[in-house]
Structure 1
């Protein structure tokens, strides 16, 4: 049965994945990853090749996505759990206020976990860390997760999704040990599809489907793992600066942020990571086919994005939070009415731009507190003035990683010891060569340093006195006094 929309506003589908690198799409030229359905989505609309997560871990990235604000404004400049989400205006609240039926499914990473942040309904798949945290706090895991009781209904009262023993931040990988139909990726797709069946056909809808994959645990179905197990993949790049984080290496900890691992362990980690991607790609196609089935695809904008990337051995680093391309650059796709097919754009876009873009797609006003910009005009091929540079940051490993990029260069400042780095992203897209020590780049280093001093002036951390950068200052993952909304680019 085809149920057609009876309003004049378009539907919105926001597809989010977790820890998906910006280079890991077939259409982006990845030498190994196969993502035919996402490639088709990109071909039907626009792909942004210079999309970034300004604070590349789960909670600060999602705060930017849902508030349209930079990290210094929403206050999350690093990763910290159990900080209440008290944002009065969000993407979902604005759409709900204007008559949209709003549904979220999957990984949210809000706190309290059942916060709705403006959604009318939320179906949770909470990752293992949140479930374990709930247990430590004496809270029934069913109160912070909907996937686990769903799984028990299908496999019995003792079923869990982590009894294979993999950790949620480890590079250890193995195939999923249960029927594919009960994989968390399938759960998110199934619940999203069920919303399409149950939705009110007299209202436009906003569906936020948020997948935990390809975030660890690296446990895709066996077919997805096996197709990459012996893939002829190039070795991860190792820059001439890779010793910068040697002090945090933990050689016998598979959750370490830095270190060398055995070649076969790396092959398995990559097989698990890329296998998740192929599995998600197919489940996204399953979901989008249902949008077609209900006769509303032509009235629907679809945006695909990740909260951050994964270093995956680049420069001997793993996980996320780092300012480098593997961690900070993300995929960003937009398809829908009025978006020409096959658009490829190198403008600097980031997660705070998603909220204003989707509100723009819906024809709704953008609240004054939003600092991001709609990239819908760019996707439509309009010639507009865009931001010349992008600032990012993340407090982690006892310091703050501060960075700027204009898409051609990247400047990094490590607040712990004051180390500066400079990369030529055109000549050296893998960031192998740190140019900060070269005399012929001194002017560029001084230019970016001045930009950062201006950006950090007046911040509570005291990273600058307005004239110079000051290393060695204590850092926090959340600001005690978040900044007021800014019109900085």
Structure 2
């Protein structure tokens, strides 16, 4: 038996940072993740700096910022040509590496350094496969498995609820065939099949609570009639009014009636409770195989979900519902029940886990190891976080130090400033408040510093220039990175 530590990353998709009962959420219950938090560190201000699936996952797997890995927005069908990845480094360090579930890479079977991938991703795989005239069953491992269970015509879409809609209904098939169960059981089977002479890196990646909002009946009903506070609405909703689309159930900006909103939230929270219980099953399997005490466990999401906040749904926004994520880390030698308020992000996971494994951190990695914090240390990670994402034909740029947040909209030059200490739901824009003028100037100068030298030309180093074209990083579909970054990464 190896004495090297094992690593288990539990990743979810579109899980808000406030949706843990350990974090005080008034509705959702996550008793098993709460137990995991009690064994290690819960980060209260973890963020997805580019909060949609593709750029967020690129940061997780490469340890780099969006500006460096080149994906500053969402774009399918762009090859993932990263030579240095978390899984690749752990494979080189002697780990047996296995991914199960959602990857959202291209080509779809790209391994990113994993020795083996059991793939399921209805959001990415079905859309991109059909765009290319492919049968999704040729690239997705879940669909052939589902057809073995239920017959050759079975699909996970025949209940009609699509993968970005706020429409919700319970899962229409036996619970053991749900994608959440598939990921958990396939991950557990890896623990049975693995080589016990090697340490393992297991990446179990759930699609939930990302739509479709189709949890099992019991999980949906658990929240359907539960008391729920109204979603927050800010004094700045009109900034996005032109993008409202009330006829589109997948719209990012829309207002829906109380019944539809309640069902959407019940479906979302139901997914969370279902995942929580399947994670409990998987953690019990660690105990069953006698490896729990020597395993580092990281629970993380790629981004959040607006879920009706400020009349918005989905992700990509700089606001807390979209950008803030849950992050839990536990394992050997880590301080139990620790809560950290440091501002951290997805690119910090790679150096943290490499340090836990005793493996070197490549020079390309820009994140910071959080291992000292998980042992109870208090050394600051960063002064503030810079985030960005292309939305509605413009770049939404934002900065936060956990106490306040600054947002700049590249198309119009509009600014937002929020006092997160006293207004955590970002309802009041302080950008025009004279009492906050000095704070606004400070944050604007920081953004100028972050954007100086970038290809977009958003600044000359002295002032911000709105109305510039969006990043050339997404202008073509062969390599997302601008020339200078491509040259640097190919060294």
TM-score by length of 1: 0.97
- Quote how far apart the aligned CAs of 1:127 are: 1.3
Deviations 1:58-101 (A, max 9, x none): 00000000000000000000000011101110000000001000
> What does residue 312 of structure 1 align with?
307
Deviation of 1:134 after TM superposition, in Å, equals 1.0
Q: Which residue of 2 aligns with 1:451?
A: 446
CA shift, 1:126, in A, is 1.9
After TM superposition, the score normalised by the length of structure 2 is 0.96
1: distance between equivalents of 2:348 and 2:236? Answer: 32
Deviation of 1:343 after TM superposition, in Å, equals 0.3
Q: Distance in 1 between matches of 2:437 and 2:377?
A: 36
Alignment partner for residue 483 of structure 2, among 481, 484, 488? 481
Stretch moving more, 66-75 or 138-147: 138-147
Counterpart position of 2:141: 146
Question: Is 1:427 aligned with 2:429?
Answer: no
Mapped to 2, the partners of 1:238 and 1:48 lie a distance apart of 26
> What CA deviation, in whole Å up to 9, does each residue of 1:119-154 have, x standing for no partner?
000000021452133123122212220000000000
Of the candidates 178, 181, 190, which is equivalent to residue 186 of structure 1?
181
* Contact 2:77-2:128 at 8 Å conserved across structures: no
- RMSD over aligned CA atoms reads 1.2
Task: Find the counterpart in structure 1 of residue 464 from structure 2.
Answer: 469
What is aligned with 1:61? 56
Q: What is the distance in 1 between the residues matched to 2:148 and 2:484?
A: 44
Q: 2-side partners of 1:128 and 1:292: how far apart?
A: 32
Q: Gaps (5+ residues) in structure 2?
A: 475-479
Distance 1:128 1:382, change over 3 A: closer
Name structure 1 gaps, 5 residues minimum: 1-5
Residues 422, 128 of structure 1: CA spacing in aligned structure 2 closer, same or farther, 3 A cutoff?
closer
Aligned to 2:117: 122
Q: Secondary structure at the match of 2:483?
A: coil
Q: Is the CA contact 2:342–2:380 (under 8 Å) kept in the aligned structure 1?
A: no
- Once the two structures are superposed, residues 423-457 of structure 1 have per-residue CA deviations (whole angstroms, 9 ceiling, x without a partner) of 00000000011000001111111111000011001
Q: Distance in 1 between matches of 2:486 and 2:51?
A: 21
Please tell me whether the aligned partners of residues 52 and 329 of structure 1 are also in contact (alpha carbons under 8 angstroms). yes
Shift of 1:207: 0.1
Counterparts of 1:236-385 in structure 2, within 5 Å, are: 236-385=231-380
Q: 1:85 to 1:341 in 2, by over 3 A?
A: same
Question: How far, CA to CA, are the matches of 2:91 and 2:128 in structure 1?
Answer: 31
8 Å CA contact 1:169–1:217 kept in 2: the answer is: yes
SS in 1 for 2:12: strand
Checking the alignment, whether the CA contact within 8 Å between 1:73 and 1:484 is kept in structure 2 is no
* 1:96 and 2:91 are equivalent in the alignment: yes
Aligned length: 481
| C-alpha contact (below 8 Å) 1:301/1:334 kept by paired residues | yes
Match of 2:14 among 1, 12, 19: 19
Query: 1:28, 1:99 → 2: CA distance?
Result: 36
